[in-house]
């Protein structure tokens, strides 16, 4: 009997320790609360009694959840709750029959179980489609960095959902300069992932055309404006061209988080020159910045999901922690440095559910 109970527990828990299960539940509960609370007004109103406010908030959460269901399932939910709320009454009829309303709660449980089964079936179908979308998206991103003499590159990406709105790439243009790109499409999940795919296709095509990095940024911006739904689907991006032989680096920052350059001496620099995010204005001007990378210099390009990662208290990882971590990397390889950075973020957030995509590209000059 004990063995059967143990096997049952292992099956439903996947062997996860109880403290880890509790941490997962807390993370899920917090994420669910944040999701529904956006639609509920919990602020006290003038002259409103505590009980009345409590009932108003409960009603708000009920409608916030119920309206996510289809009309048919909403009716099923309401019917199940009505049956569950009927008080326990034992009725004796004149012909000697008996009826106990507690049996209605059994039917209420069946209806709730049916509703759960229907929602799970939808979730499984959607998850399967998202896994296919994720696989397709992985084909669009480089599986490994290009082999560039004198340059050590590593990248990592973690979607907040199954598919991401972040994009990274590194490839050579016809001018034999290495084009490095990290971009972040506004939003998350499928809508952002679709725009990421179009950005990747357009960038690969436009990068083959002759022209400077500034001209490339302007072309991508014009294309992005055609796909941006009147500026509501903009994209922040950092584009850079590196000459591996000389270390000369030219860059355009299109409204993106400022990358960090850690010199071999330990000095820190930020790259902010550029212009507006892509997709806001087709006539937006762009400027480029330039520097020269020397052996031992390390460049980190990242999306905002890194510095905005939150722990259970809703405190952000922040720029200060990120800068301190980059400064400590010293002589680590690009891959080692990236692992240390991501481990630092993991240790900070703990079991808190990730709320935004995280993408990092780390480049170190070795010669």
Segment 34-44 mean pLDDT: 83
Segment 332-352 mean pLDDT: 91
Distance separating alpha carbons of residues 171 and 146, to the nearest angstrom:
7
| Percent of the chain topping pLDDT 90 | 42
Residue 216 has pLDDT above 90, yes or no: yes
Residue 231 has pLDDT above 60, yes or no: no
Residue 296 has pLDDT above 90, yes or no: yes
Domain 144-365 has CATH 3.60.40.10: yes
Segment 209-215 mean pLDDT: 93
Residue 301 has pLDDT above 80, yes or no: yes
Return the pLDDT at 240. 97
The mean pLDDT value of the chain amounts to: 86
- The band of 295, judged by pLDDT with boundaries at 50, 70 and 90, is very high
Return the pLDDT at 293. 96
Is residue 268 within 8 A of residue 278, CB to CB? The reply is: no
pLDDT for 76-126, tens place per residue? 888 888 888 877 666 666 666 666 666 777 888 888 899 988 888 888 877
Residue 329 has pLDDT above 70, yes or no: yes
Reading the block at residue 299, the tokens are: 């460049």
From 23-32, 78-87, 147-156, 297-306, the region with the lowest mean pLDDT:
23-32
Question: At which residue do the structure tokens 């993106």 appear?
Answer: 256
Each as own residue / partner, the long-range contacts of residues 209-214 (CB below 8 Å, 24 or more positions apart, any chain) are 210/174, 210/175, 212/288, 213/239, 213/240, 213/241, 213/250, 213/251, 213/252, 213/288, 214/252, 214/286, 214/287, 214/288
From 123-137, 247-261, 344-358, the region with the lowest mean pLDDT:
123-137
Distance separating alpha carbons of residues 357 and 75, to the nearest angstrom:
36
Question: What pTM, to 2 d.p., does this model score?
Answer: 0.75
- The band of 48, judged by pLDDT with boundaries at 50, 70 and 90, is confident
Question: At which residue do the structure tokens 């892509």 appear?
Answer: 278
Return the pLDDT at 155. 92
Is residue 61 within 8 A of residue 36, CB to CB? The reply is: yes
Segment 175-198 mean pLDDT: 83
Angle between the N-to-C axes of helices 50-66 and 71-85, in degrees from 0 to 180, rounded to the nearest 10: 140
Alpha-carbon distances of 106 from 77, 80, 81, 100, 188, rounded to whole Å:
14, 10, 12, 11, 41
- Domain ranges for the chain: 2-134, 144-365
Question: Phi/psi at 50 (nearest 5 deg)?
Answer: -60, -45
């Amino acid at each position: 009997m004990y063995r059967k109970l143990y096997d049952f527990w292992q099956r439903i828990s996947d062997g996860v320790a109880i403290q880890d299960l509790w941490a997962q539940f807390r993370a899920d509960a917090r994420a669910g609360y944040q999701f529904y609370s956006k639609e509920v007004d919990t602020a006290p109103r003038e002259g409103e009694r505590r009980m009345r406010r409590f009932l108003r908030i409960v009603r708000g959460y009920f409608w916030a959840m119920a309206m996510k269901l289809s009309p048919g399932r909403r009716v099923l939910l309401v019917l199940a709750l009505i049956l569950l709320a009927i008080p326990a009454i034992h009725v004796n009829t004149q012909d000697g029959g008996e009826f106990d309303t507690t049996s209605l709660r059994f039917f209420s449980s069946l209806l709730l179980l049916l509703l759960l089964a229907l929602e799970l079936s939808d979730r499984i179908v959607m998850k399967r489609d998202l896994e296919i979308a994720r696989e397709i998206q992985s084909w669009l991103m480089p599986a490994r960095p290009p082999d560039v003499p004198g340059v050590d590159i590593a990248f990592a990406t973690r979607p907040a959902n199954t598919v991401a709105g972040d994009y990274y790439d590194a490839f050579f243009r016809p001018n034999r300069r290495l084009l490095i790109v990290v971009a972040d499409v506004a939003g998350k999940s499928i809508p952002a992932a679709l725009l990421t795919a179009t950005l990747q296709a357009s960038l690969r095509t436009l990068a083959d055309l002759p022209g400077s990095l500034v001209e490339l940024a302007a072309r991508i911006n014009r294309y992005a404006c055609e796909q941006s739904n009147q500026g509501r689907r903009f994209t922040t991006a950092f584009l850079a061209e590196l000459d591996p032989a000389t270390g000369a680096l030219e860059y355009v920052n299109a409204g993106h988080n400022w990358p960090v350059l850690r010199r071999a001496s330990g000095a820190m620099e930020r790259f902010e020159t550029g212009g507006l995010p892509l997709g806001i204005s087709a006539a937006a001007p762009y400027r480029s910045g330039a520097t020269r990378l020397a052996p031992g210099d390390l460049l980190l390009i990242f999306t905002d999901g890194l510095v905005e990662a939150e722990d259970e208290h809703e405190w952000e990882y922040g720029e200060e922690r990120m800068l301190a971590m980059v400064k400590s990397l010293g002589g680590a390889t690009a891959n080692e440095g990236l692992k240390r950075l991501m481990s630092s973020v993991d240790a900070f957030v703990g079991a808190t559910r990730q709320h935004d995509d995280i993408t990092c590209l780390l480049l170190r000059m070795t010669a």
